[in-house]
Structure 1
Amino acid sequence: MNPPSLHTTPPSPVDSAEAIARDVAAVGRISAVPSLLKIICQNTGMGFAAVARVTDGTWTACAVEDTIAFGLLPGGQLQVNSTLCMESRAARLPVVIDHASTDPQYRDHHTPRIYNIESYISVPIVFTNGDYFGNLCAIDPRPANVSDPRTVAMFAAFADLIARQLENEDRQERAEVALQSERANAELREQFIAVLGHDLRNPLSAVGATADLLIRRQSEPDLVKLGTRLKSSTRRMSGLIDDVLDFARVRLGSGMNLAIREADFLASGLRDVVDEARASNPQRDIRDELSINGVVRCDPARIQQVLSNLIGNALTHGGTDDPIVVRAAIQDDRLELSVSNGGDPIPPDDLPKIFQPYWRPANSKPGGGLGLGLYICAEIVAAHGGMLEVTSSAPEGTRFVVTLPVA
């Protein structure tokens, strides 16, 4: 039995050599298919069974069981119009023939004559989204009782199983491609962050060193004043770079970097932040009540960063004549760190927005920052498994409260 030769026509994208090879390989990876085809032949007495990829333009064998020397191997093709699978595809229904030469509908059909077959069955393989893959089919030159409902049900069950397995293969392949892409993107993100930090910090360090040299010129007050102003700007720029890098890490998928450890002297580190704020803003009243008796498991540098941002926010938006009060204490196995300031309260409509990135109140002065400080604070606190909350009213002022687990 020799299948007819194929006509050569320009392939459509779905019938490209790459697409056909991919689907043949996908069926070949389903380990159960050979066993299913053997079961079909054994239960029906038919000598040839196949999983076929069927489109409007091509019929391709993806897996075969051949005991009658039909001569078709995986990857082999037939003229699609010479097969009954084309009719099954059009109707999306099985085509079943027990004895073709005596069948009223198929005794004069070209397919049984071309392939010299008497028994035939072809059942659609359809994905859950309705896409048509092909057919599970079997043929034999002898008659067979394939129209038996149990036989048709077996074919339908096997066809559905093959469809589900192909879908699983596709999902797994897509997941692997996505994983490889994500790994490549992650490497690119890390390179971007590293380059950004390097390229911005190096010139800033040079500016900071220049400021230090000017401050040392004590005999020239104008240069000292210029150096002090330059140092302040450098410090502010460094903070902005930190915020941008943290934002990039969070939004680009790397997450907030933490170096968690047992911090024995967290109060001392927080007091350093307060002292630095006092030194940079001698005209403001910044008070502290720090009483942390115990060990706190955290990233101390990150908690210092949170406090620095919160104090900076209070300096920018709080009343200039009102004190800024920093408190920290351990209560009930939780660390509570707060920054309070007076001045105009935050409007109620703005409270839900203040932890959003790049958001700034409508009355913000130009050059007041990127609007990332409070967002970064919230991300750091969340990465510690804590909470950052804010309350604001005219009588009580504005108060940011960080609550962190101690252990």
Structure 2
Amino acid sequence: MTRPAATAFPTPDDLFENAPCGYLVLSEDGTIRMVNGTFCRWLSCARAELVGKRIAARLSVSSRIAYETHFMPLLRLGGASHEISFDFLDAGGGAFPASVSALFCPAGEQESSIRLTVFPAVQRRRYERGLLEAREASEVARHSELETGKLREQFVAVLGHDLRNPLAAVSAGIRALSREATTERGARVLVLMEGSVQRMFGLIENILDFARARLGGGIVLTQCITDQLPAILSQVVDELRATNPDRVIDASFDLRTPVECDPSRIAQLVSNLLGNAISHGAADRPVRLSAVSTASGDLTVIVTNEGPTIPPDAMDRLFEPFVRGASSGYSEGLGLGLHIASEIAKAHDAVLDVTSEDSVTSFRLRLSAVRAS
């Protein structure tokens, strides 16, 4: 069917016949009474093949169901229907995707009629199909990642648990050897070995805590009202001094009031913060630890080191797992220490924050005696 040449100022008939959309007029029972040339060309049909036929006969099976059960009832009820997706069948039986809007014109002096506009929807369908496929692919990838992550965390938990037994045997052997007569050089080697073992124990505990948190167990607390924090934190400092003999750790405690907490977890938090400060602080400057309890039982712990300021973009990710600093010469650790410290603080309904400016970085734990319910 050849499209006639358009004139500069189309007549109403030409505007109907050669509009950039399909126009149809149906009787109330869906019989085609008028159809423009545009729609005929799209379906590669002669006008005589369409006029007088039910429009449902030119719809795919699924579109015919939608036409009978949704389109026509909605049209009769509301008088209009907009942007309904249909697949028309062309002369060869192929699908022509379209978006249809309709207006119901009730009977007046003439019989009732239905006026349709039809727009091609090939690109729209392709876009919608692409969106659907992308969403399905995203869901598959997400579920796969969740399963992979769960298996990885279970593996890490099992591995961390199984490593503790042989490591405990190594630690016991080192302690047994340290009680025997040995050379000064041998004694220094045993101290270094014990420091390495303790560092490995710390890494394993961090791994296990991380795995428990990710697998839904969370950080487990055994809380009590304790006045033993000075002794417990002093032991943490002594252990770190022993394993880092070239570093200065200044500690001051004003813990005359008992505090309700999990003492071992607070010790772990402080150990992680001190270890982070030692790793990333200036080697020739001391690391400072202060812990204060108030008469009401509030606890404040501050760990400070001097050295490079933490960049603002790194501050936002500082407590995320597996985020490691970029300090010169530092390559050990898994990047879990600060994350575990943050999780311990959350488990206590406490706040752990950080400031870093003028070459001074401070981590502060604030644990209130009045907890959120």
Range into which the TM-score falls when normalised by the shorter chain = 0.5 to 0.7
CA contact (8 A) 1:217 1:224 kept: no
In the TM superposition, residue 189 of structure 1 has moved relative to its aligned partner by 10
Aligned to 1:346: 310
**Equivalents in 2 of 1:371, 1:326: separation in Å?**
21
Aligned to 1:230: 193
**Equivalents in 2 of 1:254, 1:273: separation in Å?**
26
TM-score by length of 2: 0.56
**Equivalents in 2 of 1:221, 1:405: separation in Å?**
48
CA contact (8 A) 1:216 1:224 kept: no
1:310 equivalent in alignment to 2:273: yes
Distance change in 2, residues 1:227/1:189 (3 Å)? same
Correspondence 1:221-370 to 2 at 5 A: 221-331=184-294, 333-363=297-327, 365=329, 367-370=331-334
In the TM superposition, residue 194 of structure 1 has moved relative to its aligned partner by 6.5
Correspondence 1:3-402 to 2 at 5 A: 91-92=68-69, 195-331=158-294, 333-363=297-327, 365=329, 367-394=331-358, 397-402=360-365
**Equivalents in 1 of 2:243, 2:201: separation in Å?**
15
CA contact (8 A) 1:250 1:256 kept: yes
Number of residue pairs aligned between Structure 1 and Structure 2: 234
CA contact (8 A) 2:157 2:207 kept: no
**Equivalents in 2 of 1:225, 1:293: separation in Å?**
37
CA contact (8 A) 2:156 2:207 kept: no
**Equivalents in 1 of 2:280, 2:166: separation in Å?**
30
In the TM superposition, residue 198 of structure 1 has moved relative to its aligned partner by 3.4
Aligned to 1:151: none
Give the match's secondary structure for 1:359. Answer: coil
- In structure 2, give the amino acid aligned to 1:351: M
- In structure 2, give the amino acid aligned to 1:302: R
CA contact (8 A) 1:381 1:402 kept: yes
Distance change in 2, residues 1:267/1:222 (3 Å)? closer
Question: Which deviations, in whole Å up to 9, do the C-alpha atoms of 1:233-263 show, x marking residues without a partner?
Answer: 1111111100100110111211111111112
**Equivalents in 1 of 2:290, 2:197: separation in Å?**
28
In the TM superposition, residue 214 of structure 1 has moved relative to its aligned partner by 3.2
In the TM superposition, residue 290 of structure 1 has moved relative to its aligned partner by 0.6
**Equivalents in 2 of 1:340, 1:259: separation in Å?**
28
CA contact (8 A) 1:386 1:404 kept: yes
Structure 2, unaligned runs of 5 or more: 1-63, 71-149
| CA RMSD of superposed structures (Å) | 3.1
**Equivalents in 1 of 2:245, 2:65: separation in Å?**
87
TM-score by length of 1: 0.52
In the TM superposition, residue 197 of structure 1 has moved relative to its aligned partner by 4.0
CA contact (8 A) 1:318 1:344 kept: yes
In the TM superposition, residue 267 of structure 1 has moved relative to its aligned partner by 2.2
Give the match's secondary structure for 1:349. Answer: helix
Give the match's secondary structure for 1:282. Answer: coil
Distance change in 2, residues 1:256/1:364 (3 Å)? farther
- In structure 1, give the amino acid aligned to 2:317: K
Structure 1, unaligned runs of 5 or more: 1-86, 94-186
In the TM superposition, residue 190 of structure 1 has moved relative to its aligned partner by 10
**Equivalents in 1 of 2:225, 2:320: separation in Å?**
30
CA contact (8 A) 1:338 1:400 kept: yes
Distance change in 2, residues 1:194/1:317 (3 Å)? closer
**Equivalents in 2 of 1:195, 1:363: separation in Å?**
31
In the TM superposition, residue 318 of structure 1 has moved relative to its aligned partner by 1.0
**Equivalents in 2 of 1:221, 1:319: separation in Å?**
30
In the TM superposition, residue 351 of structure 1 has moved relative to its aligned partner by 1.5
CA contact (8 A) 2:192 2:243 kept: no
Give the match's secondary structure for 1:259. Answer: coil
**Equivalents in 2 of 1:405, 1:387: separation in Å?**
9
**Equivalents in 1 of 2:152, 2:368: separation in Å?**
31
CA contact (8 A) 1:214 1:226 kept: no
Question: Which deviations, in whole Å up to 9, do the C-alpha atoms of 1:271-323 show, x marking residues without a partner?
Answer: 22112222322322211111112221111100000000111111111112212
